[in-house]
Amino acid sequence: MARPGRPPKEKPDLHPMVDSFLDMLTTERGAAMNTRQAYWRDLADFSLFLREKNKKEVIDATADEIKFYLDDLANKIHTKGSNKNQIATRTVARRLSALRQFYRYLVSEDVRKDDPTTTIESPKQTRTLPKTLSEAEVDKLIKTAGQGGGADSVRLVCLLEMIYATGLRVSELVGLPLSALGENLEFLMVAGKAGRERMVPISESAQTAIKSYLDVRKQHIGLDDKGQQAQWLFPSRTSESGHLTRQRFAQLLKDLADAAEIDADRVSPHILRHAFATHLLSNGADLRSVQKMLGHADIATTQVYTHIIGDKAKETVEGKHPLAKKTGSK
């Protein structure tokens, strides 16, 4: 979807092997649609660059051409924005990772005999700690959301309470079917990345918010196509999917942050997920339990949160968890 005020861009025709690779990600690896779209954007950018500069298709790229593309990408990013070095490094590393997987796939399918990315080193990335909010700031957001009145306010409070109580990814939260609510609203059944299903407990305050929201939920269901919208916990009359979108929830949070007099750049669905993890660990939660609730496949991913909690809390978390002592932070 194009941003407001911008005409939609025509989707370019890429080499058929790009679609084949994306289909493999979805069918064999269980990649989510958002992941598929991210890979498509990365491969499309390189494909169009290669066509313009070298008049070649992506399946024929050489290592030198890939290096030139990555250097050009980094230089373009270096010319704009704050934290430009960090942004450039992350973007180049992600783009190279996508290209690596694509060319490995071409080799596995006998489309190519060689992988041109094998001689290209990933840029070294400095550790960046997850942004988060204090417990007082989260409380302020929830209280401010409740002051609006009406069904929209009740829904926003519910969204905040749920993401802060469960640590769900934003795509998981907005895409929850109504059937995900467990008996007595004590837990959620969540289908996460690669189809991994997990059960996540719901706090009492979140249960209360859900009950209040369910009383007004029908106001977000339009008269047309009720069936499609009614299946979602957070239906929407205006989105094509029938449920609230990630973008709309993010915008609601930005508006809420302004109303609560909190820097809007510090408030997003993902930052609330970070707050869930850091606040649990700060209060002595078990690292493995937090890992399971976040849906992380690797505990090292969860361990990054121990770097932003107080030393005393960190000692409690790591002291109680043998695996945390053995696993190096990554």
Contact 158, 213 (CB under 8 A): yes
Contact 19, 74 (CB under 8 A): no
Between β-strands 187-191 and 197-201, what pairing exists: parallel, antiparallel or unpaired?
antiparallel
Reply yes or no on whether 103 is catalytic.
no
Reply yes or no on whether 312 is catalytic.
no
Reply yes or no on whether 169 is catalytic.
yes
Distance of CA 4 to the CA centre of its chain: 22
Per-residue exposure over 227-266, b if at least 16 CB sit within 10 Å of its own CB, e if not: eebeebbbbbeebeebbbbbeebeebbeebbeebebeeee
Q: Which two tokens stand for residue 233?
A: 């916990």
Reply yes or no on whether 15 is catalytic.
no
Q: Which of 198, 270, 292, 314 is catalytic?
A: 270
Q: For residue 40, which amino acid is it? A: W
Contact 126, 86 (CB under 8 A): yes
3-state secondary structure 249-279: HHHHHHHHHHHCCCCHHHCCHHHHHHHHHHH
Q: Which of 220, 243, 274, 296 is catalytic?
A: 296
Reply yes or no on whether 296 is catalytic.
yes
Query: How many angstroms separate the Cα of 10 from the Cα of each of 1, 2, 4, 49, 298?
Result: 11, 10, 16, 16, 38
Q: How far apart are CA 145 and CA 233, in angstroms?
A: 19
Contact 48, 137 (CB under 8 A): no
Q: Which of 169, 243, 274, 321 is catalytic?
A: 169
Q: Which of 15, 51, 100, 193 is catalytic?
A: 193
Neighbours of 168 (CB within 10 A): 26
Reply yes or no on whether 51 is catalytic.
no
Q: Which of 220, 273, 274, 321 is catalytic?
A: 273
Q: At 232, give phi and psi (nearest 5°).
A: -95, 150
Catalytic residues: 169, 193, 270, 273, 296, 305
